[in-house]
């Protein structure tokens, strides 16, 4: 059967019956969500993992009789959609190629996507279709976009609540900034979702006389004591700038970045070569020459570099190449245990660095820096004897108070690039609005919320705690982009990580708002609906919506990719703890790892992206669902491989092919075994589902099940799978809901599979002895095959001898006491005839004495073997003789062990 056709059929049935649109009342509820997708491109299979896990969770809760809400919306806030539309308008080759060749978007459609709204509608439509094709049990009645005016009213209400609590502040700050977009940026706006980290650097002034200074930025201000000269690239452009610090010289590019942080008037521009040969005064009052150096990168730092040859291998090598070491001797300023007099020379000699171009120069630099920073002590100046790390701070302070240096801010993890392609800089932004996650009382509340939450995996708790501690003020507005106007300054937009923190509350009532106008959604209205504050007569719908909200809230589980543990998820906790009373705080967070493609990270540059909808067309949704979740535990990355997906598909087809065995009742031993296996799985799966142990569930309910059914059908003379299929398809339906529906309807049962309750295990059917017996038979067949292989001929007669009772006693003693001597002592005490054989047998068990499995008694073992005698004969084409070790005609019968009969072939 064509999977896609079958799946479409059931999706139609579900949609028609509103199978996933829960009532807003009655019964025990569960409310689960995952991040709303950002529709600036179609989804690939990597996106499918979190949503599939979420859907499995929701479907299992329904099997357990819960009324489950799983809503979805679209996040369009911020600049990425605008940036994408702009790139399309500008006909960005790379992007158009990806959309055309990988995602198969038709040319005429692509032309329209330069319009941001059309882009949103197109990609959100694609994503919605993909989610429906995946069979996700979503209530689409609640869908919204974050630029909806209804949603904006909600976000404005949220900002007002935070403001009332004193968590919204305003001030002047240095922030990561895109000069092209003219906007504050965070991870959401950058290529590769990198969060720019801002770091302070000391800008040291070297006097040229007349109130003019060369500016050198450094992470090691303490090394001003050892400066012998400055370097400047003769080809670089240098600007003279009038600032409150005096007239400063910067590399031109460097000034462009620094000008975002300090005011200045550019007086003129000169070539670097003009500076070469001049003398500059260090802050300590020593004159040093400015030397031309082509190795200086004009865009790094300020474009002018100080030379400290005693401690910087590159400077030492450069001076040595210029033959200037005698004229400008290195000035050591610190030392550490084991250091030579000139540490840079010491490490250059030790590593045999040949010159500036030698890769070892970089190693030398890193190694020396590490030693000096961690073990170094100052040897000159007023901080003599002080550890370097401390001296560094003190020198920076001293220079700043003496007006000989100032602070500039850089992107420490740069270069970070905006989605528009421009490199991120640091800007001093005036009157910026913040959400103050640094507020100590708020942090305590957030931790309280966290303390009562269950987290999967639990080990993520320390990451959340660390982030809660570490978070400070977060800029919450942007000057451009899509989204909600900030209520206290409507020229600004609420940024995307601030309007995605408590929106789950909005889902609860989103479907009930269509009859209202956005203007009706006042602060008082939301106060009543979400907080129960004020009067129910604020709006005729208010009381009804309050009830619906209280029915669904709190959120029972938030599903997420593990990459959001350090930003979105802590914000989600903070904001819930601030806005809502304890009773509405979220209950749990479940995170998962990424999906790799054939072992590699999916990326545009590798060209190994598999669009979700293409994967569905190729394999069917159930196969894709299983393939993106079944291979790994939640926190691990999982690997999508074509060969694995093909294997999953084959097994799914096998399960569908079993309808011909749809009979009731197989009273044979094999039938009992299958019932035992089924009921054991039904019992164990409940535990695994509650712990979201997806990989183990997949192994047990799918791979293992297929294997066991193949065995059973071979083994039983009257295979009957009616009961098995009926129950199995329901228990496994969270993974493959379409397959479940098809099998269920094939069993001619009433109603839909997705409406059924979890099939409770019949504990009485779980039979350890029968299962051990089948395992024994499987082992015997394996042994026969191995022996035949070794001797290269088929047997005509097979003797199978069950181990003697005394061996079972020794085995039992050793298994219970986990000790070999216990077995030998038993043999002595019970006068086993052949003590040599007894101790030999005990020794044979020694290696696994701590993990001996339970085994059957002699009679039970013989019973299992007798039952399978005809089967073994059929399988091997040989006559089968079954006997006891005691009194056997073959000497080799002595090799028999409990659970592993001796096998002799003739």
Specify the residue, 243 or 422, whose C-beta has the smaller distance to Zn ion: 422
Is residue 628 classed as helix, strand or coil in its secondary structure?
helix
Q: Give how far Cα 139 sits from Cα of 20, 492, 558, Å.
A: 5, 33, 16
Task: With CB under 5 A as the rule, give the number of residues binding Zn ion.
Answer: 6
From 92, 64, 41, 175, select the one nearest 475 (Cα to Cα): 175
Q: Rounded to the nearest whole angstrom, what is the least distance from the CB of residue 598 to Zn ion in the complex? A: 33
CB atoms within 10 A of CB 311: 28
872 lies in the binding site for Zn ion (CB under 5 A):
no
Q: How many CA atoms lie within 13 A of 431 on its CB side?
A: 5
Name the one range near Zn ion by CB under 5 A: 151-159, 378-386, 420-428, 533-541: 420-428
Q: CB-wise, 356 or 422, nearer to Zn ion?
A: 422
Q: Which stretch binds Zn ion (CB under 5 A): 292-300, 350-358, 411-419, 788-796?
A: 411-419
Q: How far apart are CA 696 and CA 681, in angstroms?
A: 11
Interacting residue with Zn ion among 105, 178, 275, 632 (CB under 5 A): 178
User: Is 657 an interacting residue with respect to Zn ion (CB under 5 A)?
Assistant: no
Least CB distance from residue 181 to Zn ion, whole Å? 3
Q: How far is the CB of 420 from Zn ion (least distance, A)?
A: 3
Q: Is 184 in the site for Zn ion (CB under 5 A)?
A: no
Q: Are 430 and 172 in contact (CB under 8 A)?
A: yes
Minimum distance, C-beta of residue 427 to Zn ion, in the bound complex (Å): 12
CB of 43 to Zn ion, least distance (A): 24
How many other CB atoms are there within 10 angstroms of residue 323's CB atom? 8
Q: Which stretch binds Zn ion (CB under 5 A): 65-73, 370-378, 413-421, 505-513?
A: 413-421
Nearest distance from C-beta of residue 128 to Zn ion, angstroms: 29
Q: How many residues does the chain have?
A: 906
CB closer to Zn ion, 179 vs 438: 179
Q: How do beta strands 377-378 and 334-335 pair? A: antiparallel
Q: Counting contacts by CB under 5 A, is residue 480 touching Zn ion?
A: no
Q: Any contact of residue 420 with Zn ion (CB under 5 A)?
A: yes
* Cβ-based nearer residue to Zn ion, 184 or 632: 184
CB of residue 84 vs Zn ion: minimum separation in angstroms?
A: 12
Of 181 and 344, nearer to Zn ion (C-beta) is 181
Phi, psi (degrees; rounded to nearest 5) at 399: -65, -40
Distance CA 878, CA 794 (A): 8
Q: Which stretch binds Zn ion (CB under 5 A): 108-116, 177-185, 633-641, 675-683?
A: 177-185
DSSP-H helix ranges across 277-359: 313-321, 343-351
User: Closest CB to Zn ion among 178 and 529?
Assistant: 178
Per-residue binder mask for Zn ion (CB under 5 A), 135-174, x = binder: ----------------------------------------
Nearer to Zn ion, 424 or 615 (CB): 424
Query: How are strands ordered across the β-sheet holding 485-486?
Result: 477-478, 489-494, 485-486
User: Between helices 805-817 and 820-829, what is the axis angle to 10°?
Assistant: 140
- Element of type H or E holding 601: strand 600-601
Of 82 and 102, nearer to Zn ion (C-beta) is 82
**Interface pick for Zn ion out of 386, 418, 494, 597 (rule CB under 5 A):** 418
Q: Is 181 among the residues that bind Zn ion (CB under 5 A)?
A: yes
Residues in CB range of 76: below 8 A, 6 or more apart: 38, 39, 120, 124, 145, 146, 147, 482, 483
What are the residues facing 238 on neighbouring strands?
Answer: 251, 270
CA distance 784 to 837: 25
Q: Are strands 237-243 and 246-251 parallel, antiparallel or unpaired?
A: antiparallel
Among the candidate windows 301-309, 417-425, 476-484, 866-874, which touches Zn ion by CB under 5 A? 417-425
Q: Name which of 408 and 420 has its Cβ closer to Zn ion.
A: 420
**Shortest approach of Zn ion to residue 48 CB, angstroms?**
30
642 binds Zn ion (CB under 5 A): no
Helix axis angle, 768-791 to 704-715, nearest 10°: 80
Q: Which is nearer to Zn ion, 309 or 481 (CB)?
A: 481
What 3-state class would DSSP assign to 44?
strand
Least CB distance to Zn ion at residue 481 (A): 11
Q: 178 or 896, CB closer to Zn ion?
A: 178
Residue whose CB is less far from Zn ion, 63 or 178: 178
Least distance to Zn ion, CB of residue 410, Å: 18
**Residue 176 lies near Zn ion (rule: CB under 5 A):** no
Contact 333, 223 (CB under 8 A): yes
Q: Under a CB-based contact definition with an 8 Å cutoff, are residues 215 and 306 in contact?
A: no
> What gap in Å lies between CA 778 and CA 794, rounded to an integer?
18
Residue 422 interacts with Zn ion (CB under 5 A): yes or no = yes
For residues 104 and 421, which CB has a smaller minimum distance to Zn ion in the complex? 421
Shortest separation between residue 105's beta carbon and Zn ion, angstroms? 24
Q: Which stretch binds Zn ion (CB under 5 A): 175-183, 327-335, 455-463, 522-530?
A: 175-183
Shortest reach from residue 251's CB to Zn ion, in Å = 22
Q: Which residues, in sequence order, are CB contacts of 750 under 8 Å at separation 6+?
A: none
Q: Between 420 and 494, whose beta carbon lies closer to Zn ion?
A: 420
Minimum Å distance from CB 177 to Zn ion? 9
**For Zn ion, the closer CB: 119 or 291:** 119
Asked if 820 and 845 touch (Cβ cutoff 8 Å), the reply is yes
| 330-369 binders of Zn ion (CB under 5 A) | none
Query: Rounded to 5 degrees, what are φ and ψ at 452?
Result: -95, 0
Judged by CB under 5 A, the stretch of 26-34, 124-132, 178-186, 666-674 that binds Zn ion is 178-186
Q: How far apart are CA 346 and CA 341, in angstroms?
A: 8
Decide: helix, strand or coil at residue 758: coil
User: Residue 32 forms beta bridges with which residues?
Assistant: 557
Q: Which of 795, 718, 731 is nearest to 760 (CA)?
A: 731
Binding piece for Zn ion, criterion CB under 5 A, among 366-374, 421-429, 430-438, 733-741: 421-429
H or E segment to which residue 255 belongs: helix 252-258
Instruction: Supply the minimum distance, in Å, between the C-beta of residue 193 and Zn ion.
Output: 14
| Pairwise CA distance, residues 588 & 457, whole Å | 11
Which runs of consecutive H residues, i.e. helices, occur in 68-181? Answer: 80-89, 93-97, 107-112, 116-133, 149-164
Give the C-alpha separation, 615 to 622, whole Å: 11
Shortest distance, CB of residue 424 to Zn ion, whole angstroms? 8
Q: Which is nearer to Zn ion, 218 or 259 (CB)?
A: 259
Work out how close the CB of 518 gets to Zn ion at its nearest, in angstroms, rounded to a whole number: 31
Q: In this chain, which stretch among 333-341, 419-427, 578-586, 824-832 interacts with Zn ion, using CB under 5 A?
A: 419-427
Residue 318: C-alpha distances to residues 49, 219, 295 (Å): 53, 20, 9
* C-beta of 420 vs 557, nearer to Zn ion: 420
Is residue 81 involved in binding Zn ion (CB under 5 A)?
Answer: no
In the complex, the residues that contact Zn ion under the rule CB under 5 A are 178, 180-181, 418, 420, 422
């Amino acid at each position: 059967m064509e999977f896609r056709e079958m799946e479409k059929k059931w999706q139609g049935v579900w949609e028609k019956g509103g199978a996933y649109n829960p009532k807003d009342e009655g019964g025990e509820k569960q409310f689960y969500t995952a991040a709303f997708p950002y529709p600036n491109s179609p989804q690939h299979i990597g996106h499918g993992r979190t949503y599939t896990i979420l859907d499995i969770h929701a479907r299992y809760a329904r099997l357990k009789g819960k009324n489950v809400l799983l809503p979805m919306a679209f996040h369009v806030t911020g600049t990425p959609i605008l940036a994408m539309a702009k790139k399309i308008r500008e006909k960005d080759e790379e992007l158009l190629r990806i959309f055309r060749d990988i995602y198969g978007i038709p040319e005429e459609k692509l032309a329209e996507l330069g319009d941001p709204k059309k882009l949103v509608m197109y990609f959100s439509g694609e994503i919605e279709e993909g989610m429906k094709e995946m069979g996700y049990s979503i209530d689409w009645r609640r869908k919204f976009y974050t630029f909806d005016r209804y949603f904006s009213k909600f976000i404005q209400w949220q900002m007002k609540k935070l403001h009332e609590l004193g968590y919204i502040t305003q001030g002047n700050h240095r922030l990561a900034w895109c000069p092209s977009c003219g906007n504050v940026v965070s991870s959401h706006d950058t290529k590769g979702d990198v969060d720019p980290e801002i770091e302070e650097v000391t800008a040291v002034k070297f006097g040229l006389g007349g109130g003019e200074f060369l500016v050198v930025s450094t992470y090691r201000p303490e090394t001003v004591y050892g400066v012998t000269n400055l370097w400047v690239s003769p080809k670089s452009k240098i600007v003279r700038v009038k600032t409150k610090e005096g007239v400063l010289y910067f590399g031109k590019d460097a000034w462009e970045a620094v000008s975002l942080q300090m005011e200045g008037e550019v007086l003129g521009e000169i070539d670097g070569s003009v500076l070469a040969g001049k003398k500059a005064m260090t802050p300590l009052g020593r004159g040093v020459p400015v030397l031309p150096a082509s190795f200086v990168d004009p865009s790094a730092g300020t474009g002018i570099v100080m030379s400290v040859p005693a401690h910087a291998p590159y400077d030492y090598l450069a001076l040595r190449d210029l033959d200037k070491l005698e004229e400008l001797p290195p000035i050591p300023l610190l030392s550490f245990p084991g250091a030579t007099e000139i540490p840079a020379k010491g490490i250059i000699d030790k590593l045999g660095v040949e010159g500036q171009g030698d890769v070892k120069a970089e190693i030398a630099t890193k190694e020396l820096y590490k030693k000096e920073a961690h073990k170094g002590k100052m040897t000159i100046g007023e901080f003599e004897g002080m550890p370097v790390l401390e001296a560094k701070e003190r020198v920076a302070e001293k220079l700043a108070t003496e007006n000989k240096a100032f602070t500039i801010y850089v992107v420490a993890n740069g270069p970070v690039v905006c989605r528009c392609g421009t490199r991120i800089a640091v800007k001093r932004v005036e009157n910026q609005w913040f959400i103050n996650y640094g507020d100590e009382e708020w942090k305590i509340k957030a931790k309280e919320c966290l303390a009562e939450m269950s987290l999967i995996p639990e080990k993520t708790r320390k990451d959340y705690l660390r982030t809660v501690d570490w978070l400070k003020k977060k800029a919450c507005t942007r000057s451009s982009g899509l989204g909600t106007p900030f209520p206290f300054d409507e020229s600004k937009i609420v940024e995307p990580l601030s309007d995605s923190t408590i929106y789950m509350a909005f889902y609860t009532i989103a479907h009930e708002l269509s009859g209202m106008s956005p203007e009706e959604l006042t602060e008082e209205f939301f106060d009543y609906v979400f907080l129960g504050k004020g009067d129910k007569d604020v709006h005729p719908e208010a009381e009804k919506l309050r009830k619906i909200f209280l029915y669904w809230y709190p959120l029972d589980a938030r599903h997420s990719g593990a990459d959001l543990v350090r930003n979105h998820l802590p914000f989600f906790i903070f904001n819930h703890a601030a806005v809502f009373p304890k009773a509405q705080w979220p209950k749990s967070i479940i995170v998962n790892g990424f999906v790799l493609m054939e072992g590699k990270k999916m990326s545009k540059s590798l060209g190994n992206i598999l669009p979700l909808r293409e994967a569905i067309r190729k394999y069917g949704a159930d196969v894709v669902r299983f393939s993106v979740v079944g291979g790994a535990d939640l926190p691990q990355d999982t690997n999508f491989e074509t060969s694995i997906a093909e294997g999953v598909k084959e097994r799914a087809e096998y399960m569908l092919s079993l309808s011909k065995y749809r009979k009731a009742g197989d009273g044979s031993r094999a039938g009992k075994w299958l019932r035992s296996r089924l009921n054991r799985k039904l019992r164990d799966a409940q535990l695994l589902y509650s712990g979201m142990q997806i990989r183990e569930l997949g192994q047990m309910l799918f791979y293992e099940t297929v294997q066991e059914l193949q065995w059973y059908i071979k083994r039983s003379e009257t295979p009957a799978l009616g009961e098995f299929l009926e129950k199995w398809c329901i228990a496994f339906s969270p993974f493959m809901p379409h397959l479940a529906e098809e099998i269920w309807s094939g069993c001619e049962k009433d109603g839909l599979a997705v409406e059924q309750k979890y099939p409770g295990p019949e504990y009485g059917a779980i039979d350890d002895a029968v299962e051990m017996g089948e395992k024994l038979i499987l082992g015997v067949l394996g042994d026969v095959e191995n022996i035949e292989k070794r001797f290269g001929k088929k047997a005509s007669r097979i003797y199978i001898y069950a181990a003697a009772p005394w061996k079972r006693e020794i085995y039992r003693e050793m298994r219970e006491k986990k000790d070999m001597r216990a077995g030998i002592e038993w043999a002595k005490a019970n006068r086993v005839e052949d003590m040599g054989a007894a101790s030999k047998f005990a020794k044979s068990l020694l290696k696994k004495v701590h993990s001996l499995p339970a085994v059957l008694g002699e009679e039970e073992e013989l019973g299992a073997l007798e039952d399978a005698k005809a089967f073994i004969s059929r399988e091997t084409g040989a006559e089968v003789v079954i006997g006891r070790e005691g009194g056997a005609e073959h000497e080799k019968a002595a090799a028999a062990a409990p659970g592993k009969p001796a096998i002799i072939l003739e």
